[in-house]
Amino acid sequence: MKTRITELFGIKHPIIQGGMHFVGLAEMAAAVSNAGGLGIITGLTQPTPEALAKEIAKCNKMTDKPFGVNLTFLPGFANPPYPEYIQAIIDGGVRIVETAGRSPEAYMPAMKAAGIKVIHKCTSVRHSLKAERIGCDAVSVDGFECGGHPGEDDIPNMILLPRAAEELKIPFVASGGIGTASQLVAALALGADGINMGTRFIATKEAPVHINVKNALIAASELDTRLVMRSLKNTERVLNNPAVEKIVAIEHAKGDAVTIEDIREYVGGVYPRVMQDGDMDAGAWSCGMVAGLIHDIPTCKELIDGMMAEADALIRNRLTKFLAA
């Protein structure tokens, strides 16, 4: 399948693996890229720019296909040395960067000077247009269904994607709640040039996470995610567990007076305990509503090949039946 996204990034299939904390390691990115998609290393999972450089080198040994690095510019408990991370990306020969969170505008000159193609994750049309204006090559349009941070507008993809198609000139991919071939076809029909999947890729054989995480996704339904940190204007969609229930209760009790310190023990430093140790109740961890559509743990190649074959059949067989004779 050829789209503006496959042409832009030099990939076989219009499927991107989004950056995910303590998931987007070299093993994950290489497996997706080797399967014809675009794998993404999560930059800030690596504690230092030097560690990121080693992870990029590792990925380069595992695949000769294009892959990217995610850099998320979000308010947090620490301020990472972003210029040094970007230099590690450049020195490692990576020429695709997925940015997220705050605008990457301040770092665009350095990345563009190095020939890097930038795809920015956006949760609204206005943010997508800003990304286009500052020189991003593409955007990932994240609907309300997504795991992680869906923004504060609460617009689902059935509205957000066609609105993006009305406004944008640069290519964009659909993201948020996506994990099946039919959703890929729907995204293309709504104007997207491909899809970005996060949660779905966690439930693959190559995903470098504890089996408890994968099994939790299979067991979950579309009703099992919760929104936390709404009162902090840093909304995150997470899989429900006792720690998440405590966050919700604290936010409800304190209202607008809640601070990050009130919930820090449930959101800070959680990911290693969940993703590596398999402690499902350690705290809040990002999960999309697509969990309700995850029923197996295939390899990345099995997942992508299966989706593309089914998408082709849907387009050629099912959809053509609706054409008037």
Residue 2: the pLDDT is: 97
Per residue in 190-246, pLDDT (tens digit) is 999 999 999 999 999 999 999 999 999 999 999 999 999 999 999 999 999 999 999
CA–CA distances in Å: residue 263 to residues 101, 119, 138, 231? 21, 32, 35, 12
User: CB burial class (10 A; 0-12, 13-18, 19+) of residue 112?
Assistant: middle
Domain contains 156:
yes
Q: What is the DSSP letter of 138?
A: E
User: CB burial class (10 A; 0-12, 13-18, 19+) of residue 140?
Assistant: buried
Residue 74: the pLDDT is: 76
pLDDT tops 90 at residue 79: no
Domain contains 13:
yes
Domain contains 110:
yes
Domain contains 249:
no
CB 179 within 8 A of CB 200: yes
Domain contains 97:
yes
CA–CA distances in Å: residue 82 to residues 30, 43, 52, 72, 197? 24, 10, 12, 9, 25
Domain total for the chain? 1
Residue 267 CB coordination number (10 Å): 22
Domain contains 230:
no
pTM equals: 0.96
In which element (H, E) is residue 34 found? helix 26-34
- Can you read off the two tokens belonging to residue 59? 């990925």
Give the CATH number of the domain where residue 144 resides: 3.20.20.70
Domain contains 288:
no
CA distance 311 to 170: 24
Per residue in 148-193, pLDDT (tens digit) is 999 999 999 999 999 999 999 999 999 999 999 999 999 999 999 9
CA distance 310 to 4: 21
In b/e form, how buried is each residue of 61-97, taking b as 16+ CB within 10 angstroms? Answer: ebbebbbbbbbbbeeeeeebebeebbbbbbebebbbb
Identify the CA nearest to 280 among candidates 248, 226, 241.
241
Domain contains 160:
yes
Parent domain of 120: 4-208
In this prediction, residues 303-321 reach a mean pLDDT of 96
